[in-house]
Structure 1
Amino acid sequence: MTKRIFEGVLPAITTPFSPDGSVDHEFLREHAQWMMSQGCSGMVPLGSLGEGNTLEFDEKVAILKTLVEALGDKPVIPGIASLSTQGAVKLAQAAKDAGCQGLMVLPPYVYTSDWREMKAHMSAVIAATDLPVILYNNPVAYKTDFLPQQILELAGEHPNVRGVKESSTDVRRVTALAAILPPQVELLVGVDDALLEGVLAGATGWIAGLVNSHPRESVELFELTRAGKYAEATRLYRWFLPLLRLDTVPKFVQLIKFVQEETGHGSARVRAPRLELTDAEKAEARQVLAAAQASPALVGV
């Protein structure tokens, strides 16, 4: 049986900023270690939630070095994206040099084109190292939709393609992938409010968002579902869903960071062009959080 390398709950870790706007490496280290202590399997920095598109190259490399040191032998699997193929290849190689154990490869920022060009970009980045790769499909954010047959084509040509993070929000896409992916390519859920459905369809990993504020609940939900304890999983899922849905709206970065701050696990600071939430948006998010906190009996089933 092929060994799974991306199994379990992998936080798409947020990037903490100090008051002066620089990356807060001390908190980054503490936050990653705290989530690992709650049962997470590794970390996925520099993705959409990690505000990777607002970080400079040197900042990205420094983040990777901090996390590799903080996690020891546990995997750090950074998001690899750039405006150019050359930039993405450079970052992939730097990630390997920093000690990362895998890569999550995204399509290029801004430019969206046909499969011929997207395949050339993805192939160049995948082939830049020998690290195992997760293909990240998020047509909602990046306007590029990698169809199941195209993913299969990349996996057939590149043996280090070992996973797919599916974030199209279409559960039917998860079932389509589960039906055709070879055993060595793992399927990972990429949107928080489709976790239970994704695991039931065959996903073996979850790159999660609200895990940044609720790691114990996230790990428990995943493990209950994987174990086939559907009554318990459904009960916890229903409790968690209003929070998980904060991961699927345009201001998901601001919202998740705000929930982190409200629960004592981070700061709401974001990097421009993002701005922190308005008072009205904060009040709405507080209502969602307060409703969850008012029924703690549903947690720890």
Structure 2
Amino acid sequence: MTTPTTFQGVFPAITTPFNADGSVDHGFLREHARWMMDSGNAGMIPLGSLGEGNTLDFHEKTAILETLVDALGDAPVIPGIASLSTHGAVQLAQAARDLGCRGLMVLPPYVYTSDWREMKAHVSAVIAATELPVILYNNPVAYRTDFLAPQVAELAAEHANLRGVKESSGDSRRVTALRAALPESVDILVGLDDMALEGVAAGATGWVAGLVNAYPAESVKLFELARAGDWAAARELYTWFLPLLRLDTVNKFVQLIKFVQEEVGHGSARVRAPRLELTAEEQAMVRDLLRAAQA
């Protein structure tokens, strides 16, 4: 089994599609992942925040990974690894390896958060559970654990398979701090859609994207323009895209992005409780944004 040596490019945080009865729609999942890969994405990240991973049970998660590994062939599937317990996260990481995933995105534990000593022990156990290359996911707003650049550097010095950081604090200065603290072998990935250009300008080499689920070609083009240093063209595309990209950074980002998918004909707005589908007023707001974009 080969593994990616870098985490560079656009990696969709793929949404989890549901059937009308609430079960996972594996047929659409397969089709959707292939459609996004055809637009030039670098790999697929299921089971994350956008993938509603915390509403899926263990067997649903492994079934999703089986579907994606089979659907994508040589393209890397890099699942989000999160659990209420360290044991549960280790178990999921090892199952992902055994199913053929080629990397992991490791999150802090759900619900419980604490000091650096405990959070380091948790993520270290998960990173060390397999030989797969790992992206550490830093999202202090959502998970109330903040991995600072010196702490990430400490982890990288102790774990050779820590090869990326998804930075979702919303502060572009974090990207420059991470780039200064980490070896070049550790890639930095932007984790918020409306910071894509700023992140690349600060040194990010990857983007874990959300609106890519509805606009894969545009997302890849934006990232490629930025990496190539074509800032005029990148800013023009970014200006057009930003009203939609900002949907990724609010509390109902899952519902909003899934609704955009449905509106553009590439998915369903169905979500799992406790999330509910958007109200009529919220739907109208999104349709206004889409009309403006299409104009």
**TM-score category (smaller protein):** over 0.9
* Map of 1:298 onto structure 2: none
**Structure 1 residue 83 and structure 2 residue 84: aligned?**
yes
Q: What do residues 74-109 of structure 1 show as CA deviations (whole Å, max 9, x unaligned)?
A: 100000000000000000000000100000000000
**Cα drift, residue 4 of structure 1:** 4.7
Tell me whether 177-186 or 95-104 shows the greater mean CA deviation: 177-186
**Cα drift, residue 180 of structure 1:** 1.5
**Structure 1 residue 279 and structure 2 residue 271: aligned?**
no
Question: What amino acid maps onto 2:166 in structure 1?
Answer: K
* Map of 1:249 onto structure 2: 250
Q: Taking every aligned residue pair, what percent have the same amino acid on both sides?
A: 76
Q: Distance in 2 between matches of 1:7 and 1:85?
A: 28
Unaligned runs of 5+ in 1: 295-301
Q: Secondary structure at the match of 1:6?
A: coil
Question: What amino acid maps onto 1:171 in structure 2?
Answer: S
Q: Distance in 1 between matches of 2:6 and 2:17?
A: 27
Q: Distance in 2 between matches of 1:111 and 1:31?
A: 33
* Map of 1:190 onto structure 2: 191
Alignment of 1:89-238 (within 5 A): 89-238=90-239
Q: Secondary structure at the match of 2:188?
A: strand
* Map of 1:27 onto structure 2: 28
Q: Distance in 2 between matches of 1:143 and 1:135?
A: 15
8 Å CA contact 1:9, 1:42 repeated in 2: yes
8 Å CA contact 1:12, 1:45 repeated in 2: yes
Unaligned runs of 5+ in 2: none
8 Å CA contact 1:4, 1:186 repeated in 2: no
Q: Distance in 2 between matches of 1:253 and 1:120?
A: 30
**4+ long deviations beyond 6 Å:** none
Q: Secondary structure at the match of 1:277?
A: coil
Q: What do residues 236-257 of structure 1 show as CA deviations (whole Å, max 9, x unaligned)?
A: 0000000000000000000000
* Number of residue-to-residue matches in the alignment: 292
**Cα drift, residue 174 of structure 1:** 1.1
Q: Distance in 2 between matches of 1:259 and 1:228?
A: 29
Q: Distance in 1 between matches of 2:71 and 2:204?
A: 27
Q: Distance in 2 between matches of 1:41 and 1:172?
A: 25
Q: Distance in 2 between matches of 1:4 and 1:138?
A: 24
Q: Distance in 2 between matches of 1:234 and 1:255?
A: 24
* Map of 1:299 onto structure 2: none
Q: Distance in 2 between matches of 1:18 and 1:85?
A: 31
Question: What amino acid maps onto 1:153 in structure 2?
Answer: E
